[in-house]
Chains A and B, each alone.
Chain A
């Protein structure tokens, strides 16, 4: 490898060019400005050479030969003709073959207008076909999943979808069948194409063979207006193109970038957008009167909230949320609560996350791109496929294509187990014990320890389940930091939670990753904001408990739903119930918003402009394409008005003005100005702190003494991609895909309890839920796994003693 020159010189159509060695000819030609037609070639997939559209002539010792340029690597001294008569004829001939059976129903095809087959038939085809014969027919379209429709007549057998599913997503649910004239792409019998990544195949299909049901016949490509934005579904912040027609967002496509998503999206990113058009979206301010909500004007609602909030002592008010929207919104939230209301109690997490300082400022922090060069990846945290699906793709790629060794520690099987070098399952609560054994490398753990000794190491650490102690993640990070060349990536999943923490929506942080106890940082902020409340405040659990115990009186819920998201729902309910005054910033009547006295309707996906900070600290621009529904407004402007009503003028005229204030006030954000993020290299954002920014807080995790929780049986509850969260529930495309709730039991536990698969049991932890039993041998004995926050498990908590009762007279 080492003797291979970094660049080679090829002669492309008579011009000598220097290109990077090792890349396919088609790629090198494209970078040099010569487009070679292609259908099967995709820069993020392994070349297959099946469509033959990219034939070019290469001179060799035995004369020139037509070779597929996607499977031919560039070689030194290669002489290539891409426009010779022979090449043109060959390419036109291939197109004629591809069109022999293609139905040409372009006017009804969703791809018509943006179809590579149309475009390339125009550019490289003969213009005429000599085929007058009957075309091949298949039944069409067939539903291969709840989201995807397959039209085999249109398929040109490029294998992009099958290669994506097998190589990239690891869900090989779609394959070729039959031979000769009857080769067809199809799913396996009785097994739908139920992949979390199925939408990507629609995007990369070069014809209209795979189409998405939510977009089907909604618009034609030339109707669409698009803006580049990022997806706030999870903390990866995948680059997306949000596309709207007639002022309605109807499609989201992935945008290829090296930094985050490589162009891929999860189906949740892709199909979540229609929640903003849900029937029951809140579009006017609501005020509770005699237990019922009534519509109110903005002036009335703002007047009421400012009056009520003003009537309490500042320290008796708290705020939860801010992770659902932009940095600008979170900043306004933080500024309002800290400087106008005067409370230190605010938290962007809902008791289900990590320590704020650890998540926001761990050093050294890994970037997603570090996965490309890592030799070893330690994943001790959530099942990435369920919680951070795009990161799952990147980790999977590192493990399958880039030779990284993956070590997974999780209470049960995860989506990445198949590509991992080592998987360790453990009983939740025994994590600290396992960590000690792993660090020591005793016995069975010796080979794992040996793998971990090879750097560079990227450690992905988070909470494996909601019942897990958040300090365990820090202990794991502290252990990982002793590994060679180690970098840490804290795993949180909720939207813009990293941005919210960076904006000081945390009990221990001020905007720009400043420790709340940092005297110089406080002084600098007080110069901008006026006086600040002292010391660290309460976190979400503390706030909810404080409300229940009467230490706090009022709560501002900024897009948070603690009733459904907090690990102990009874705490959340008790807190909200006891609160004297609750104001919610919401799009929907969530379980928590129902407790509110005033609800402000807020703008959502595609309706707001701003910036967002992802899991690696990359700040990117979010753009708006449609106006907010009804009278809904962006969060920052509501806080602006509230502050003015309470006697402090923020004076922010636009989200951009708030953004400019952030770059001035928040130290780590210096240099992350909007105009820098909109053009050129800044389009993929910057990882903070940028070169001209500074990182005031450098947090190194320490191994805290995490108690081992032992119990006869322990509940492991973790999130799944499609849960019963308020956004998914209102997204018509994916709402129906919510996982079926079941209680997963180890076979031995099931036999001890005399339970068989399908029996109904009642599980009691904090709340209770009655669920069918699923036997799951991937669990450790004594662990019961239940997916968190599904409709059937909504009342169930994550922390507390577990009781299992078999339901008599169930349908078992």
Chain B
């Protein structure tokens, strides 16, 4: 039988190959095809706009202060009242992320009070010059119509619908600094953490359970 085994030998060697040939393929034809990333994938950042085209960034530098890699540089400036860049008094005048340093932890996204900075699924960030590794506002900011600043706006790596979802709560509290905004809800429960505080016990119940050892109210001399 040994001659038969010798005959099959080469074929047996290909067993794995043959088996895999009929299984579904894991590789994709990158870069022609791109795998869909997990929904919470930490990819390249974008700076978003409100539906009316206003920038969401107010230059508050909270992202820069929270960044563990210290890779974000922000400078604010006074919003020109006749042609405001963002709602409120200040806008992000300079916004730079050093992508060579960024560790994609997403803390900036968490810190942002206006949801101006979010992360996309974009991951192709190779640069041919270290200077290009510093992504400026030109690169990060979405187009005025809300489409991402990317050569292939239809890329599945950017969920445009999700980008347009967030509508930072701060917009309502800083109504362009104008009193005419009276009537806009100034504070919404969505911004709080946890639910509403539990209702206070009534005064009479509170006195009844007062065990602090202090004199009861209304004690006369």
Q: Are A108 and B88 in contact (CB under 8 A)?
A: yes
A residues near B214, Cβ cutoff 8 Å: 63-64, 84, 86
A residues near B76, Cβ cutoff 8 Å: 108, 217
Q: Interface with B: A135-143, A588-596, A777-785, which one?
A: A135-143
How far does the alpha carbon of A220 sit from the alpha carbon of B58 in the complex, in Å?
12
Q: Are A135 and B187 in contact (CB under 8 A)?
A: yes
Contact of B197 among A86, A128, A223 (CB under 8 A): A128
Tell me, yes or no, whether A107 is within 8 Å of chain B by CB: yes
Tell me, yes or no, whether A183 is within 8 Å of chain B by CB: no
Q: Interface with A: B117-125, B142-150, B178-186, which one?
A: B178-186
Tell me, yes or no, whether B61 is within 8 Å of chain A by CB: yes
Tell me, yes or no, whether A450 is within 8 Å of chain B by CB: no
Q: Are A63 and B179 in contact (CB under 8 A)?
A: no
Q: Are B77 and A217 in contact (CB under 8 A)?
A: yes
Q: Interface with A: B20-28, B37-45, B169-177, which one?
A: B169-177
Q: Are A107 and B114 in contact (CB under 8 A)?
A: yes
B residues near A86, Cβ cutoff 8 Å: 212, 214
Q: Are B179 and A107 in contact (CB under 8 A)?
A: no
Q: Which of B60, B88, B183, B189 has the most CB of A within 10 A?
A: B60
Give per-residue flags for B74-116: 1 if the beta carbon is below 8 A from chain A beta carbons, else 0.
Answer: 0111100000000011100000000000000000000001100
A residues near B185, Cβ cutoff 8 Å: 134
B residues near A107, Cβ cutoff 8 Å: 58, 60, 62, 113-114, 170
How far does the alpha carbon of A131 sit from the alpha carbon of B170 in the complex, in Å?
17
Q: Are B89 and A108 in contact (CB under 8 A)?
A: yes
Q: How far, in Å, is B92 (CB) from chain A's closest CB?
A: 10
B residues near A131, Cβ cutoff 8 Å: 187
How far does the alpha carbon of A220 sit from the alpha carbon of B183 in the complex, in Å?
30
Tell me, yes or no, whether A402 is within 8 Å of chain B by CB: no
Q: Are B182 and A126 in contact (CB under 8 A)?
A: no
A residues near B196, Cβ cutoff 8 Å: 128, 130
Q: List B residues at the A interface (Cβ < 8 Å).
A: 58-62, 65, 75-78, 88-90, 113-114, 170, 173-175, 177-179, 181-189, 192, 194, 196-197, 212, 214-215, 217, 219, 221
Q: Are A108 and B212 in contact (CB under 8 A)?
A: no
Q: How far, in Å, is B170 (CB) from chain A's closest CB?
A: 6
A residues near B58, Cβ cutoff 8 Å: 107-108
Contact of A139 among B89, B173, B178, B197 (CB under 8 A): B178
How far does the alpha carbon of A64 sit from the alpha carbon of B214 in the complex, in Å?
8
How far does the alpha carbon of A768 sit from the alpha carbon of B189 in the complex, in Å?
69
Q: Are B89 and A141 in contact (CB under 8 A)?
A: yes
Q: Are A62 and B187 in contact (CB under 8 A)?
A: no
Give per-residue flags for A77-114: 1 if the beta carbon is below 8 A from chain B beta carbons, else 0.
Answer: 00000001110000000000000000111011000100
Q: Which of B196, B214, B215 has the most CB of A within 10 A?
A: B214
Q: Are A103 and B186 in contact (CB under 8 A)?
A: yes
23 chain-A/chain-B pairs, Cβ below 8 angstroms: A84-B212, A85-B212, A103-B173, A104-B187, A105-B173, A105-B174, A108-B58, A112-B60, A129-B187, A134-B183, A134-B184, A134-B186, A135-B186, A135-B187, A137-B182, A139-B179, A216-B78, A217-B59, A217-B78, A220-B60, A220-B61, A222-B65, A223-B61
How far does the alpha carbon of A137 sit from the alpha carbon of B187 in the complex, in Å?
13
Given A132-B189, A134-B183, A134-B185, is A104 in contact with B212 using a C-beta cutoff of 8 Å?
no
Query: Which residue on B lies nearest to A84, using beta carbons?
Result: B212
How far does the alpha carbon of A61 sit from the alpha carbon of B88 in the complex, in Å?
53
Contact of A105 among B170, B188, B219 (CB under 8 A): B170
Q: How far, in Å, is B168 (CB) from chain A's closest CB?
A: 10
A residues near B60, Cβ cutoff 8 Å: 107-108, 112, 220
How far does the alpha carbon of A126 sit from the alpha carbon of B58 in the complex, in Å?
28
B residues near A220, Cβ cutoff 8 Å: 60-61, 65
How far does the alpha carbon of A104 sit from the alpha carbon of B59 in the complex, in Å?
16
Q: Are A61 and B179 in contact (CB under 8 A)?
A: no
Q: Are B197 and A130 in contact (CB under 8 A)?
A: yes
Q: How far, in Å, is B44 (CB) from chain A's closest CB?
A: 23
Contact of A64 among B114, B170, B215 (CB under 8 A): B215
* Minimum-distance CB pairs A-B, first 5: A107-B60, A128-B197, A135-B186, A63-B215, A217-B76
Contact of B221 among A61, A108, A126, A217 (CB under 8 A): A61
Q: Are B181 and A137 in contact (CB under 8 A)?
A: yes
B residues near A128, Cβ cutoff 8 Å: 192, 194, 196-197
Q: Are A137 and B179 in contact (CB under 8 A)?
A: yes
Name 5 extra pairs, CB < 8 A, besides A84-B212, A108-B60, A220-B60: A104-B173, A105-B89, A107-B113, A137-B179, A217-B89
How far does the alpha carbon of A137 sit from the alpha carbon of B179 in the complex, in Å?
6
In A62-78, which residues have CB < 8 Å from any B CB? 62-64
Q: How far, in Å, is B24 (CB) from chain A's closest CB?
A: 48
Q: How far, in Å, is A210 (CB) from chain B's closest CB?
A: 14
A residues near B221, Cβ cutoff 8 Å: 61-62
How far does the alpha carbon of A126 sit from the alpha carbon of B177 in the complex, in Å?
28
Query: Which residue on B lies nearest to A57, using beta carbons?
Result: B214
Q: Which of B75, B113, B175, B186 has the most CB of A within 10 A?
A: B186
Query: Which residue on A lies nearest to B219, using beta carbons?
Result: A63
Given A105-B173, A107-B60, is A132 in contact with B182 using a C-beta cutoff of 8 Å?
no
Q: How far, in Å, is B25 (CB) from chain A's closest CB?
A: 48
Q: Are A140 and B215 in contact (CB under 8 A)?
A: no
Give per-residue flags for A216-229: 1 if the beta carbon is below 8 A from chain B beta carbons, else 0.
Answer: 11011011000000
Q: How far, in Å, is B113 (CB) from chain A's closest CB?
A: 5
Q: Which of A131, A217, A219 has the most CB of B within 10 A?
A: A217
Q: How far, in Å, is A412 (CB) from chain B's closest CB?
A: 40
Contact of B179 among A84, A104, A138 (CB under 8 A): A138
A residues near B178, Cβ cutoff 8 Å: 139
A residues near B75, Cβ cutoff 8 Å: 219
Q: Which of B173, B182, B197, B219 has the most CB of A within 10 A?
A: B173
